[in-house]
C-alpha cells in the first residue's frame, strides 16, 4: 500500500464505496481550543446501516472460509497501511483528542503490533482448538462414532470505537483485529470525538480489503454524532456479536439491546473500573516516597482517562498522613490537564463536586475542572476516607473518569481481606508489598482472583501488555462477561463458537479436522495433544 495523502470525505464507508451524505451532521472538535474541525461529518442513514450489515452478511461465508495464511496476510496489510499513513493519522488524532504526539505514536505502534500478533496466531492455526475422537466400531456395548470439533466464526460483528484510545480501541483496534482474525466481517461505529482519525484508519482497512481480494462487506465504517446508529446496529438481525469499550451506562444499554433481540447475541462490553491498589505495611515502611510518586504518575497518566487507572488506594493508617501529604503536594503542583472532550471534562467536575458535597470522603487536594468555550481541561483531585466509611458508602467504589483517586485508611492488615470481599468486579487489582508481605497475603490474593481479571504485584495497572497471556477483563460491572478478554490473543475466542462434526466424510471436514494434519497444528487427538 503506497503512502498517498487521504482526503477526508466526512461520510461513512460502506463496503468498498464512500456513501452519500445524509442529513444529520456534526464536526470533530479540538478539545484544546474548542474549535470545530473540517470537514463536516454526516451520520449514517438507516439505509446505509442496513446496506453495511447486509454486505457483511453476504461476505461471511467467503471470508470465514479463508485460510489462516490469507487472513494473516490481510491483517499484515492493514498494519502496513497504518504505518505508511501513520504521520497523517497521528497528526489528526492529536488535533481531535489533545493527546500528545508521543502517546499517539506509541498507540499506533501498539495497534500495528496487535494486528501482527493476531496474524501470527491465525497463520499458525492451533487457536481453533481442534479436537478429534476417532471411531471405534468394536466398542461394547455400542460402537463409538467419529467425533470432531473446532471453533468457527460467529458472523458479522458490530464494533464501537472508544473515546480514550483513538487507535488501539477504535477502528483498527483490538476488537476489530480479533474479529477479523476469527473470520468475522466487521461494521465499526466510529466514535464522534475523533471522526477524522476514524476515517483515515477506515480508508486503510477498506483499501486492504480490496488489495487482499476479499469481499467488500468484510469491513464498513459508520459515523454518528449520537447513539442512533449504534442502537440500530445492535438491533439488526444480521449482527451476531457486539464489542464495546466505554462507559457503564453505555455498556449496560447495549447489553439490554443485545439480550432483548428476537435472537439474543453476545455483547462484550468493557465498562470501566476503579482498580483497587493495596499497599501492605512492609512496603509502605520501606518505600513510602517512591510509592507516592508512582501512584501519582499512574492515576494522573493521560489525565486519568484510562480504564485501568488506580482509583482506590488502601494503605495502613499509621503511615497514611505522611503519604497523603506527599501526594497532596504533588497533585497541587500539576495544574490543569487537558481532557479528551468538553463532555468528559464536565462529567468529571460534576462527579468530583458531588463526591465532595456528599461528604462521604474528604477532598484533600485539587481544584475545579475548567470547561470554558468548549475547551476541556481538568485538575487532579485527591480524596481520603477511613475503611469503615468506605465500606458504609457503596458509591465510593464507583469510577470517576479523570485524574482522581481515593485514599482508604485501614488499621489491621486482616481488614483488607474483608474489604476485598465486599468489592464488586474490577479490571485489575494491585498489591504492593515486601517479599514477606506478599508471602503472608495468600488469602487476600485468593479473594482478589474472584474480583478482577489481572492481579499485579509491585507495579501499576496503567499500561496493558498486548501478548498471549494478557487478560483485560473482569467480573461485572467491569465487563459484561468475566470469561473473556479484550486484549491479548485470547480475545479471538469472543467471536467464535464450537461446532462438532460426527461421522463426517473426511473430504467434507474443515481442513483442520481432517485425518491428515496438513497444517501441522496442535490437535487434541483421542485426549492427547499432538501435531500428528
| Same domain as 296, residue 190 | no
Q: What is the 3-state secondary structure (H, E, C) of 494-521?
A: HHEEEEEEECCCHHHCCHHHCCCCCCCC
Q: In the chain, what are the helix, strand and coil shares in percent, each to the nearest 5? A: 40, 20, 35
Query: Which residues, in sequence order, are CB contacts of 369 under 8 Å at separation 6+?
Result: 339, 345, 346, 348, 349, 352, 377, 378, 379, 402
82 and 211 both lie in a single domain? yes
Q: Is residue 487 part of a domain?
A: no
Write down which residue in 419, 441, 457 finishes a domain. 457
Task: Give the CATH number for residue 56.
Answer: 3.40.605.10
**Is residue 496 in a domain?**
no
Per-residue cell: 329:
503536594
d(C-alpha 286, C-alpha 144), whole Å: 64
The grid coordinates of residue 317 equal 493508617
> By CB neighbour count within 10 A (0-12 exposed, 13-18 middle, 19+ buried), where does 16 fall?
middle
- Which of 224, 221, 215 is closest to 203 using CA atoms? 221
- The pLDDT value given to residue 373: 61
Q: pLDDT per position in the chain (532 positions), as tens?
A: 445 568 899 999 999 999 999 889 999 999 999 999 999 999 999 999 999 999 999 999 999 999 999 999 999 999 999 999 999 999 999 999 999 999 999 999 999 999 999 999 999 999 999 999 999 999 999 999 999 999 999 999 999 999 999 999 999 999 999 999 999 999 999 999 999 999 999 999 999 999 999 999 999 999 999 999 999 999 999 999 999 999 999 999 999 999 999 999 999 999 989 999 999 999 999 999 999 999 999 999 999 999 999 999 999 999 999 999 999 999 989 988 899 999 999 999 999 999 999 888 999 998 655 555 667 888 999 999 999 999 999 999 999 999 999 999 999 888 999 999 999 999 999 999 999 999 999 999 999 999 999 999 999 999 999 999 999 999 999 999 999 999 999 999 999 999 999 999 999 999 999 999 999 999 999 999 999 9
Which residue is catalytic, options 96, 107, 199, 270? 270
Q: Identify whether residues 351 and 420 lie together within a single domain.
A: yes
Report how far residue 158's alpha carbon sits from residue 200's, in angstroms, rounded to the nearest whole number: 19
**pLDDT tens digits along 214-256:** 999 999 999 999 999 999 999 999 999 999 999 999 999 999 9
Determine, yes or no, domain membership for 213: yes
Here the cell at position 350 is 460534576
Residue whose grid cell is 469503615: 388
* Residue 498, in any domain of the structure: no
In angstroms, the CA 300 to CA 472 distance is 20
* 356 & 428 share domain: yes
Q: Report the CATH number at residue 448.
A: 3.40.309.10
Task: Return d(Cα 284, Cα 295) in angstroms, integer.
Answer: 12
DSSP 8-state assignment for residue 408 = E
Residue 495 located in a structural domain: no
203 & 283 share domain: no
Q: Which residue, 424, 457, 490, sits at the end of a domain?
A: 457
pLDDT value of position 306: 95
Say which residues have a Cβ less than 8 Å from residue 516's Cβ, sequence separation at least 6: none
Q: Which of helix, strand or coil describes residue 462?
A: coil
The answer to whether residue 500 is domain-embedded is: no
Instruction: Judge if 434 and 332 occupy the same domain.
Output: yes
What pLDDT, on a 0 to 100 scale, did the predictor assign at position 114? 98
> 293 and 381 in one domain?
yes
Look at the alpha carbons of 75, 76, 79, 81 in this order and tell me if their dihedral is positive or negative.
Answer: negative
Polymer length of the chain? 532
What's phi and psi for 443, nearest 5 deg? -65, -40
Nearest to 6 by CA among 204, 192, 166, 193: 204
Residue 431 CA to residue 277 CA, distance in Å, equals 6
- Do 377 and 383 contact (CB within 8 A), yes or no? no
How many domains, the chain? 2
Specify whether 307 is catalytic.
yes
The answer to whether residue 13 sits within a structural domain is no
304 φ/ψ sector (left φ>0, alpha ψ -120 to 50, else beta): left
Question: Are residues 132 and 31 both part of a single domain?
Answer: yes
pLDDT of 53 reads 98
> What's the half-sphere exposure (Cβ side, CA atoms, 13 Å) at 220?
33
* 270 tagged catalytic: yes
| Rounded Cα gap, residues 349 and 47, in angstroms | 39
Domain stops at, among 422, 457, 492 = 457
User: Is residue 318 located within the same domain as residue 424?
Assistant: yes
**Residues 389, 323 share a domain:** yes
For residue 105, tell me if it sits in a domain. yes
CA distance 450 to 221: 37
Q: Do 298 and 364 belong together in one domain?
A: yes
> Do residues 195 and 112 share a domain?
yes
**Domain that residue 37 falls in:** 20-228
Write the pLDDT tens digit of every residue in 26-72: 999 999 999 999 999 999 999 999 999 999 999 999 999 999 999 99
Q: Which of 96, 307, 399, 512 is catalytic?
A: 307
Amino acid at each position: 500500500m503506497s503512502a498517498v495523502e487521504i482526503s477526508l470525505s466526512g461520510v461513512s464507508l460502506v463496503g468498498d464505496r464512500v456513501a452519500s451524505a445524509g442529513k444529520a451532521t456534526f464536526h470533530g472538535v479540538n478539545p484544546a481550543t474548542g474549535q470545530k474541525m473540517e470537514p463536516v461529518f454526516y451520520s449514517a442513514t438507516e439505509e446505509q446501516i442496513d446496506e453495511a450489515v447486509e454486505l457483511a452478511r453476504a461476505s461471511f461465508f467467503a471470508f470465514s472460509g479463508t485460510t489462516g495464511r490469507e487472513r494473516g496476510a490481510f491483517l499484515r496489510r492493514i498494519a502496513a497501511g497504518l504505518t505508511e499513513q501513520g504521520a497523517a493519522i497521528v497528526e489528526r488524532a492529536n488535533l481531535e483528542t489533545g493527546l500528545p504526539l508521543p502517546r499517539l505514536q506509541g498507540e499506533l505502534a501498539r495497534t500495528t503490533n496487535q494486528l501482527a500478533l493476531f496474524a501470527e496466531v491465525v497463520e499458525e492455526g492451533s487457536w481453533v482448538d481442534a479436537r478429534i475422537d476417532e471411531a471405534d466400531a468394536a466398542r461394547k456395548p455400542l460402537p463409538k462414532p467419529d467425533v470432531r470439533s473446532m471453533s468457527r466464526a460467529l458472523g458479522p460483528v458490530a464494533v464501537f470505537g472508544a473515546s480514550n484510545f483513538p487507535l488501539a480501541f477504535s477502528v483498527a483496534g483490538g476488537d476489530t483485529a480479533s474479529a477479523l482474525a476469527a473470520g468475522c466481517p466487521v461494521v465499526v461505529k466510529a466514535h464522534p470525538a475523533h471522526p477524522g482519525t476514524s476515517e483515515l484508519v477506515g480508508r486503510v482497512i477498506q483499501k486492504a480489503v480490496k488489495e487482499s481480494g476479499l469481499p467488500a462487506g468484510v469491513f464498513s465504517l459508520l459515523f454518528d454524532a449520537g447513539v442512533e446508529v449504534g442502537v440500530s446496529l445492535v438491533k439488526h438481525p444480521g449482527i451476531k456479536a457486539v464489542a464495546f469499550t466505554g462507559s457503564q451506562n453505555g455498556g449496560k444499554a447495549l447489553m439490554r439491546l443485545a439480550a432483548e433481540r428476537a435472537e439474543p447475541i453476545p455483547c462484550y462490553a468493557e465498562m470501566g473500573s476503579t482498580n483497587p491498589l493495596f499497599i501492605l505495611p512492609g512496603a509502605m515502611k520501606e518505600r513510602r516516597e517512591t510509592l507516592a510518586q508512582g501512584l501519582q504518575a499512574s492515576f494522573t497518566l493521560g489525565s486519568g482517562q484510562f480504564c485501568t487507572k488506580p482509583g482506590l488506594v488502601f494503605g495502613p493508617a499509621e503511615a497514611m498522613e505522611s503519604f497523603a501529604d506527599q501526594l497532596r503536594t504533588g497533585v497541587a503542583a500539576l495544574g490543569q490537564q487537558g481532557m479528551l472532550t468538553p463532555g468528559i471534562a464536565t462529567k468529571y467536575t460534576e462527579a468530583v463536586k458531588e463526591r465532595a458535597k456528599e461528604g462521604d470522603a474528604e477532598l484533600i487536594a485539587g481544584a475545579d475542572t475548567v470547561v470554558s468555550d468548549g475547551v476541556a481541561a481538568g485538575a487532579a483531585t485527591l480524596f481520603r476516607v477511613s475503611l469503615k466509611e468506605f465500606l458504609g458508602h457503596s458509591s465510593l467504589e464507583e469510577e470517576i473518569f479523570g485524574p482522581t483517586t481515593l485514599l482508604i485508611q485501614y488499621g489491621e492488615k486482616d481488614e483488607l481481606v474483608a474489604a476485598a470481599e465486599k468489592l464488586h468486579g474490577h479490571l485489575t487489582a494491585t498489591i504492593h508489598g515486601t517479599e514477606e508481605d506478599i508471602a503472608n497475603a495468600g488469602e487476600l490474593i485468593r479473594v482478589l482472583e474472584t474480583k478482577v481479571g489481572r492481579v499485579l504485584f509491585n507495579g501499576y495497572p496503567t499500561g496493558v501488555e498486548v501478548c498471549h497471556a494478557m487478560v483485560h477483563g473482569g467480573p461485572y460491572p467491569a465487563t459484561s462477561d468475566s470469561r473473556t478478554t479484550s486484549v491479548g490473543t485470547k480475545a479471538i475466542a469472543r467471536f467464535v463458537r464450537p461446532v462438532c462434526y460426527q461421522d463426517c466424510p473426511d473430504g467434507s471436514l474443515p481442513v483442520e479436522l481432517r485425518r491428515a494434519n496438513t497444517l501441522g497444528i496442535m490437535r487434541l487427538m483421542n485426549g492427547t495433544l499432538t501435531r500428528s
